[in-house]
Amino acid sequence: MNAPQDLTLRLLFPQWQGGNNPPYHFGAQLLSWLAPAPSGPVAEVKVDAPTDEPLPLENGIFGRSALLNQMRSARDLIDQHAPDRIVVLGGDCLVDLAPFAYLNERYDGDLAVLWVDAHPDVLTPNDFSNAHAMVLGNLLGEGDAEFADAVKRPLKPQNVMYAGLQATTAVETAMIERLGLSKASPEDLAVNSEPVLKWFQSTGAKHLAIHLDLDVLDPHFFRSLLFANPQTPAGTFDGIAQGKMTITDVVRVLADVSAIADVVGIGIAEHLPWDALALKNMLQALPLIGAGTVRP
Does residue 14 register a pLDDT over 50? Answer: yes
Q: What percent of the chain has pLDDT over 70?
A: 97
Tell me, yes or no, whether 49 lies in a domain.
yes
Order of strands across the sheet that contains 262-269: 42-44, 8-13, 85-90, 262-269, 207-213, 111-116, 160-163, 182-184
251-267 residue pLDDT tens: 999 999 999 999 999 99
Does residue 233 register a pLDDT over 70? Answer: yes
Q: What is the mean pLDDT of residues 160-171?
A: 96
Does residue 292 register a pLDDT over 80? Answer: no
pLDDT value, residue 296? 53
Is 215 within 8 Å of 227 (Cβ atoms)?
yes
How confident is residue 2, by pLDDT bands cut at 50, 70 and 90?
Answer: very low
What do you get for the CA distance between the two ends of the chain, in Å? 43
Tell me, yes or no, whether 86 lies in a domain.
yes
Tell me, yes or no, whether 241 lies in a domain.
yes
For the chain, the domain total comes to 1
88 or 291, higher pLDDT: 88
Tell me, yes or no, whether 59 lies in a domain.
yes
Q: State which residues form the domain around 40.
A: 8-285
Tell me, yes or no, whether 292 lies in a domain.
no
| Residue 30: other Cβ atoms inside 10 A | 18
What's the CA dihedral at 202, 252, 274, 296 to 10 degrees?
-30
- Cα 158 to Cα 61, 72, 91, 266, distances in angstroms: 28, 27, 27, 19
Phi, psi (degrees; rounded to nearest 5) at 76: -60, -45
Q: What percent of the chain has pLDDT over 90?
A: 93
How confident is residue 291, by pLDDT bands cut at 50, 70 and 90?
Answer: confident
Q: Three-state DSSP class for 114?
A: strand
pLDDT value, residue 4? 53
CATH of residue 114? 3.40.800.10
pLDDT value, residue 167? 87
Distance CA 296, CA 16 (A): 12
Does residue 294 register a pLDDT over 90? Answer: no
Is 121 within 8 Å of 135 (Cβ atoms)?
yes
52-109 residue pLDDT tens: 999 999 999 999 999 999 999 999 999 999 999 999 999 999 999 999 999 999 999 9
Is 117 within 8 Å of 162 (Cβ atoms)?
yes
Does residue 5 register a pLDDT over 80? Answer: no
Tell me, yes or no, whether 85 lies in a domain.
yes
Does residue 162 register a pLDDT over 80? Answer: yes
Does residue 163 register a pLDDT over 80? Answer: yes
Tell me, yes or no, whether 57 lies in a domain.
yes
Tell me, yes or no, whether 218 lies in a domain.
yes
How confident is residue 293, by pLDDT bands cut at 50, 70 and 90?
Answer: low
